[in-house]
C-alpha cells in the first residue's frame, strides 16, 4: 500500500518538475473545467480563503485553508466523453465551457496521469476495434464515456466503459488488448446508459474483467468502491478532511453517532473505533451495500447502514434516536429543512457538517444558528485545486443544551 502511494506521489512530483511552470494548461481557453489555471497555487489558496471568510466569517473564525503540497494530477477519478471531430477522428475529453462540444484532452493538469494514459489507449483501441462512437444528436453509436478510478494507496484500477447497449463486439480481445497495454488494471465494467441524458452512468452493469470494484485504504480502514458509489476524487485531501471531521467530533468511545449521507461509509467507519455505535444513512443502495461489506471486511461490528432519504430517516426516527454526534456530508445542494429540523430535535451535542457547497453551507448554518446550534470551528480544505469555487469545509456546531 505505502509503496503504491509513494510511487503515485513521486510520479506527480516528476511531472510537475518536468513541466517547469506549474499551473499551465494547453486547454485552458476551451475546457470549462478549471477557472484558476495560470494562477500560482499560493494565490489560489489566498483567493479561496478570502472567499470563505467573506461567506462564512459571520458564523465563526474561518481557519487557514488546508492546501496541497503537490496540487496537480490529484483527481483519482477521471471521466472523458467520447466523440468524433469534424474529420471523423475519435476524440475524448470534457465539454467546452457552456456547450456540448467535446474538447479532445490527452494531458489534463488535474487528472491522474495513469488514468489518462488508459483513456488514450481506449481511444486507439476503439479505432482498431472499429467501435462505433455514440453521437449525442442522433443517438446512434455505442461508446459514450469512459471512467477510470485508481485506488491511491492500493494502486487498483477500475475502468468503466459507458455504452449505449450491453454488447461490446470483440469484447474478449478488447479486454486482452487493454490489459496488455496496462496490466495495472484490476477490473473492467460495462455500464449501460441508453438514455438521452447528461448523467454519465446508467443503472445496468456487467463486469467483464475482475471483481467489478476496487479497494482502497483510508484512515486505517479498507474500502470497497463500486462504479456507482460516491468516493472523493482527491485522496490526499480526503484523508485530511475526514481526520479533521473525526477530531471535531471529540469521540471518547461511548457515543452514538449518525453518519448521514454516508456513501460507502468512509466517515462512519473511520470513526467507529472511537465511538459506541454508528448509524449510517444513504440514498444510493450500491453505496450502502459497499458500506455494509466495508464494515464486515474491517471487522467493525458497531456500525449499521440504512438505504433511504436522509431527511425521511431523520424525521421518522426523531423521537427514538438520541445521537451524541451527527456527521452530515450532503451533496452540493446541501441539506433540507426536514433533515435539519429532525437533527435539532434529536439534540446531539455536536454536529459535524462536511460541505462541498459553500453557498448551501451558509444557508444551512443560518438554519442551525436560528435553532440553537453555534458554529465553533470552520476549517476549509482545498479539495479541487485549479477549480474556482469548490471549497470543502468542515464545520463543528455545538448545541446550547
Ligand atoms: N460521506 C460520503 C459521501 C458524501 S457525498 C463520503 O465522504 O464519501 C454525498 C452523498 O449523499 C452521496 O453518496 C449521495 O448518494 C448521498 N445523497 C444524496 N442525496 C441524498 C439523500 N436525500 N439522502 C441520503 N443520501 C443522499
261 lines ligand 1 (CB under 6 A): yes
Residue 9 is predicted with a pLDDT of 64
For residue 230, the ligand 1 atom closest to its alpha carbon is: 13
* CA pair distance 282, 302, nearest whole angstrom: 17
Q: Find, among 265, 391, 387, the residue nearest to 332 by Cα.
A: 391
Sheet with strand 90-95: strands edge to edge: 102-104, 90-95, 77-84, 143-150, 157-163, 185-192, 204-209
Q: Are 383 and 241 in contact (CB under 8 A)?
A: yes
Q: Any idea what DSSP says for residue 39? A: S
Residue 98 is predicted with a pLDDT of 79
Residue identifier of the C-alpha nearest atom 1 of ligand 1:
262
Residue 20 is predicted with a pLDDT of 43
Close Cβ partners of 14 (under 8 Å, ≥ 6 residues apart)? none
Query: What is the best residue among 268, 291, 331 to mutate for testing ligand 1's pocket, by most ligand atoms within 8 Å of CB?
Result: 331
263 lines ligand 1 (CB under 6 A): yes
282 lines ligand 1 (CB under 6 A): yes
Can you name the residues that pair with 187 across neighbouring β-strands?
158
262 lines ligand 1 (CB under 6 A): yes
314 lines ligand 1 (CB under 6 A): no
**Residues that are catalytic:** 356
Residue identifier of the C-alpha nearest atom 15 of ligand 1:
284
| Residue 276 half-sphere exposure toward CB, CA atoms < 13 A | 8
Per-residue pLDDT of the chain (401 residues; tens, 9 = 90+): 666 666 666 665 655 554 444 457 888 878 877 888 888 999 999 999 999 999 999 999 999 999 999 999 999 999 999 999 999 999 999 988 778 889 999 889 999 999 999 999 999 999 999 999 999 889 899 999 999 999 999 999 999 999 999 999 999 999 999 999 999 999 999 999 998 887 889 999 999 999 999 999 998 999 999 999 888 899 999 999 999 999 999 999 999 999 999 999 999 999 999 999 999 999 999 999 999 999 999 999 999 999 999 999 999 999 999 999 999 999 999 999 999 999 999 999 999 999 999 999 999 999 999 999 999 999 999 999 998 767 999 999 999 65
326 lines ligand 1 (CB under 6 A): no
- Which residue has cell 465553533? 376
Q: How far is CA 284 from the centre of its chain?
A: 14
Residue 374 alpha carbon to ligand 1 centre in Å: 24
pLDDT, tens only, 5-23: 666 666 656 555 544 444 5
Residue 24 is predicted with a pLDDT of 72
Residue 133 alpha carbon to ligand 1 centre in Å: 32
pLDDT, tens only, 47-105: 999 999 999 999 999 999 999 999 999 999 999 999 999 999 999 999 887 788 899 99
Instruction: Report the first-to-last Cα separation within the chain, whole angstroms.
Output: 44
Q: Are 309 and 285 in contact (CB under 8 A)?
A: no
Return the number of other C-beta atoms located less than 10 Å from residue 304's C-beta: 14
* CA pair distance 65, 161, nearest whole angstrom: 36
Amino acid at each position: 500500500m505505502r509503496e503504491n502511494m509513494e510511487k503515485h506521489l513521486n510520479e506527480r512530483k516528476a511531472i510537475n518538475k518536468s513541466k517547469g511552470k506549474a499551473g499551465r494548461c494547453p486547454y485552458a481557453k476551451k475546457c470549462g473545467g478549471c477557472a484558476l489555471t495560470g494562477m500560482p497555487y499560493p494565490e489560489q489558496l489566498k483567493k479561496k480563503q478570502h472567499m470563505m471568510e467573506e461567506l462564512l466569517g459571520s458564523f465563526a473564525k474561518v481557519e487557514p485553508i488546508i492546501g496541497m503540497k503537490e496540487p496537480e494530477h490529484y483527481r483519482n477519478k477521471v471521466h472523458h466523453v467520447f466523440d468524433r471531430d469534424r474529420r471523423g477522428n475519435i476524440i475524448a475529453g470534457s465539454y467546452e465551457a457552456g456547450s456540448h462540444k467535446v474538447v479532445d484532452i490527452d494531458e489534463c493538469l488535474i487528472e491522474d496521469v495513469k488514468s489518462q494514459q488508459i483513456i488514450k489507449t481506449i481511444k486507439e483501441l476503439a479505432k482498431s476495434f472499429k467501435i462505433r462512437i455514440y453521437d449525442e444528436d442522433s443517438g446512434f453509436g455505442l461508446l459514450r464515456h469512459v471512467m477510470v478510478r485508481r485506488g491511491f494507496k492500493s494502486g487498483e484500477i477500475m475502468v468503466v466503459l459507458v455504452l449505449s447497449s450491453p454488447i461490446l463486439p470483440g469484447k474478449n480481445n478488447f479486454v486482452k488488448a487493454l490489459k496488455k497495454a496496462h496490466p495495472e488494471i484490476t477490473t473492467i465494467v460495462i455500464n449501460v446508459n441508453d438514455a438521452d441524458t447528461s448523467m454519465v452512468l446508467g443503472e445496468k452493469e456487467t463486469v467483464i474483467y475482475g471483481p467489478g470494484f476496487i479497494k482502497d485504504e483510508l484512515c486505517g480502514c479498507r474500502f470497497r468502491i463500486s462504479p456507482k458509489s460516491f468516493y472523493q476524487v482527491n485522496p490526499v485531501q480526503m484523508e485530511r478532511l475526514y481526520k479533521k471531521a473525526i477530531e471535531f467530533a471529540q469521540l471518547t468511545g461511548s457515543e452514538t453517532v449518525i453518519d448521514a449521507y454516508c456513501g460507502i461509509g468512509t466517515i462512519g467507519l473511520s470513526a467507529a473505533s472511537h465511538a459506541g455505535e454508528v448509524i449510517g444513512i444513504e440514498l444510493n443502495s450500491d453505496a450502502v451495500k459497499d458500506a455494509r461489506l466495508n464494515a464486515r471486511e474491517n471487522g467493525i461490528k458497531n456500525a449499521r447502514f440504512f438505504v433511504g432519504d436522509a431527511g425521511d430517516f431523520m424525521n421518522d426516527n426523531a423521537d427514538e434516536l438520541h445521537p451524541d454526534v451527527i456527521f452530515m456530508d450532503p451533496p452540493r445542494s446541501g441539506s433540507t429543512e426536514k433533515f435539519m429540523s429532525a437533527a435539532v430535535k434529536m439534540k446531539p451535542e455536536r454536529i459535524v457538517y462536511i460541505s462541498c457547497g459553500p453557498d448551501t453551507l451558509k444557508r444551512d448554518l443560518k438554519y442551525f444558528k436560528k435553532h440553537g446550534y453555534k458554529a465553533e470551528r470552520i476549517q476549509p480544505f482545498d479539495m479541487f485545486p485549479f477549480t474556482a469555487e469548490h471549497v470543502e469545509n468542515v464545520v463543528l456546531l455545538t448545541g446550547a443544551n
